[in-house]
A and B are shown apart, each in its own frame.
Chain A
């Protein structure tokens, strides 16, 4: 249909565009690697890889998608390498036992303090800047090992078998870790936003 305003090669040579793209990539990589140096390295390698085949992509949107696809693989490589240095299964056991004890009683039913109450009008929160500050704070509060697999699943869009292969854990362990992350996030958002009185109310309800 339409042609791109600038050739892809020109895009990667446009210092303004490249600088903005690079900044976005570093933020993305740092979120997953929790290490600015590793993030910078991954971005550098991804951009170097992008230069090799850039002429195949017409337009900035396609180029950006492709560069980020390369970056995801670089980040996954780094995560895989980091994971070799720790015993993944012991991490899972550690995470398995720390979260449920304070939510459920001995029979596995909700403790009265932790039983989820209804969240009023959650959709409206997505439009509120303040909600996102709380949301990011809650994400930051998820333990690193849980956060890593949760972000791979929900932010980077990896399939579960890809995550298992990358991180070196079984699917059973992954489901436990994802569940722990969701429990943490649900509990944090409930306490810090929905039960703190900041959430918007539906009309006609209290």
Chain B
């Protein structure tokens, strides 16, 4: 597995569960690759940031 494929799987895992083969291959790759390990954390943070962003829209623009 290369980094391009690994990042696709990390992104896909945000939208549907990975199968066992995908998950195992991804674990092996990220264990070896520091760039992909960082990317995985960052993709998780993006979702968290989007949730906070949506909440801010509510708080900032809401009635009252």
| Chain A residues engaging chain B, CB cutoff 8 angstroms | 17, 20-21, 23-24, 27-28, 60, 64, 100, 103-104, 107-110, 115-119, 122-123, 125-126, 132, 135, 139, 153-155, 160, 174-176, 178-179, 182-183, 185-186, 189-190
Contact = CB atoms under 8 A, between A and B. Distances in A.
| B interface secondary structure, majority | helix
A123 B41 CA distance: 11
6 contacts: A60-B63, A116-B35, A118-B38, A122-B49, A178-B11, A189-B42
Contact of B53 (A107, A155, A174, A190): A155
Interface of B: 2-5, 7-8, 11-12, 14-16, 33-36, 38-39, 41-43, 45-54, 56-57, 61-64
A23 B62 CA distance: 9
Nearest to A172: B12
Nearest to A159: B15
Nearest to B47: A154
